[in-house]
Each structure stands twice: as C-alpha cells, then as structure tokens.
Amino acid sequence: MDKLYKRDWLCLLAGTALMAIATEGFFEHARLVVGGITGIGIMLDDWTKREFALHIPLWLTNLLLNLPLFLYAWRRKGRQFMGKSILTGTLFSVMLFLEELFPITTSDPLLAAVFGGTAMGVGLGLVLAAGATTGGVDLAATLLHLHFRQFSVSKLIFVLDAAIILAGMAMFGIESSLYAVLAVFVTEKWIVWATEGVNFAQAAWIISDKNEEIARALLSELGRGVTAFSAKGKYTGTERDVLFCVFSQKEIHFVKSIIVNIDRNAFFLLTDIREVLGEGFTEK
C-alpha cells in the first residue's frame, strides 16, 4: 500500500468521522437544517418522532436516499467515476451509526453552528482532498446537470440546498434557520482552509521609478526575497523592472509603509495566494 493510498484512506476516515460528529452530534440535536440529504434526514426524524414516536436514524436515511443516486450515477458515469464516492458515502453512514452509539452532542444552536460547521468543513475538506464525495446533493446536482445543461452544477447545488434549508425553516422556524445559515458559512470557510492549505500569504507586484531602493528596503527590513522581471509599458513605451515579493498576512502594513515612504506614486498590486512552500518563506 503506497503512501498516497494510505493518505487517502486516512483522509476519508478522519473526514467522514468529523462529518458524522457535525451532523449527528451538533446539527441534529440543535435542529439545524444546513441542506443536503442529512438535512432531509433531520426533518424526517423529527416528524416521525412527533407523529409516530418513531426514530429514523440519520445513517439509515443517508444510506437509503443515496442508494438510488449511486446506482443511477454508476450506470451513467461508470465505475471509475463513482467507485470512491460510493465507498465514501457508505463510510459516512457507518460513521453516523457509530456517532449515535457514542454521542458527542450539544443542543445549543450557537455552539452547534460554530463547532458543527467547523467539524463539517474540515471533514468535507479532507474528503475532497482524497478525491471523493459523500454523494447527496452534490451527486444529485451532477446527475440533474445531465438533463438540464442550461444550469451549472453549482447553481443546481445551490437550488437544492436552498430548498432543503427553506423546508427546515418552515419546520423549525426562522431562528433555527439563521443558525443553520451561520453553520453553512463556517463550513464553507473551513472547507477552503482544509483544501487550499493553512499557509495563507500575500503577493505584491510593484512598479516604481525607485525599484532598487524599494527592493533593498524589503530585503533589509522584512528579510523577504524580491524578484525583478523586465517589462515594457505599452502606453508609455518605458522599460523598467517589475518587483515581485511574497510575504505573510501580518506583514501587509509594513510592506505598504515601506513602498509609500519611498515612492507615493508606485503602482502596487496586492493579491492573495495559498499554500506557499519553499525556502525563503517563513512566518515571522
């Protein structure tokens, strides 16, 4: 078993475990419907408990609702496309079952939104990093796109999730839905963190008549490497160097101060970058 295969398995196990804790431990107990098949499961379980005193576990709902989607996707997309996602969806149901046996719960909606959203975002990020999905709304949207190509997959996901969240609002009220929206926001932020890396940084492109002075200041005061690219302005026809420098988020203020103090007329372009690796870049 090679290292990449082991890493994928670890990501899937850890990711689905975190997703199960978020869903079973936080969202269900706080009645937060954040979309997806598990959102349908939360509403279905609440309704059957009230009407028939019958508990329908989320692992069973997830398995039964995903099954027709997996079968149809296997038929349309093939084994290569669906193999890992079927495995991951089944593993998620197993983790939901285990979470019900060994619960980690809170019914406080704010705690559920923040910590549930965090666990779900990191878990989903790990699953995506392993090249898989857990099925559900994402898979349903992909399959609907085969028949409604005028709509993008992302728009279909949005519509399906929005419909589920609105149904949750009708069942549990506006306050619960607002906490659910907060949970979705936290989830999205953590997915970005998990999939794009924790080493966030900034990159600066600098054009100035005082490039040499700015480069020396960046090197001496921040200890950052600076690269110069030769360029020619098409409007003025002037040839000059363009400076490129990478630095941490905490150093933005210092970089701006250095440039402005040397040349107030400098052209300064700032952009976000992710996953900065290599010698010469360390957090200060």
Confidence (pLDDT) at 230: 87
Confidence (pLDDT) at 146: 80
Give the confidence band of 283 by pLDDT, cuts at 50, 70, 90.
very low
Beta-bridged to residue 247, according to DSSP, are 202
High-pLDDT (> 70) share of the chain, %: 89
The two three-digit tokens of residue 36, written as one number:
């997806």
For the chain, list the domains and their CATH numbers: 3-196 (no CATH), 201-273 (3.30.70.120)
E strand map for the chain: 201-207, 226-232, 239-247, 267-273
Candidate from 41-55, 133-147, 208-222, 243-257 with smallest mean pLDDT: 243-257
Q: Report the candidate in 226, 213, 168 with the shortest Cα–Cα distance to residue 43.
A: 168
Confidence (pLDDT) at 81: 59
pTM: 0.74
**Radius of gyration from C-alpha coordinates of the chain:** 25
Has residue 284 got a pLDDT over 50?
no
Give the confidence band of 180 by pLDDT, cuts at 50, 70, 90.
very high
Q: What is the pLDDT of residues 65-74, one digit of tens each?
A: 999 988 888 8
Confidence (pLDDT) at 198: 54
The two three-digit tokens of residue 190, written as one number:
């953590």
CB 202 within 8 A of CB 247: yes
- Region for residue 266 given its phi and psi (left: phi exceeds 0; alpha: psi -120 to 50; beta: otherwise): beta
Chain centroid offset of residue 259 CA: 34
Q: What is the pLDDT of residues 191-218, one digit of tens each?
A: 877 766 655 677 889 988 888 999 888 8
Average pLDDT, the chain: 85
Q: What is the pLDDT of residues 28-79, one digit of tens each?
A: 989 999 999 999 999 999 999 999 999 999 999 999 999 998 888 888 766 6
Q: What is the pLDDT of residues 77-96, one digit of tens each?
A: 666 557 778 888 999 999 99
Largest CA distance in the chain: 79
Residues 6 or more apart whose CB falls under 8 angstroms from that of 127 comprise 11, 12, 15, 16, 19, 88, 133, 134
Among 72-76, 177-181, 276-280, the range of highest mean pLDDT:
177-181
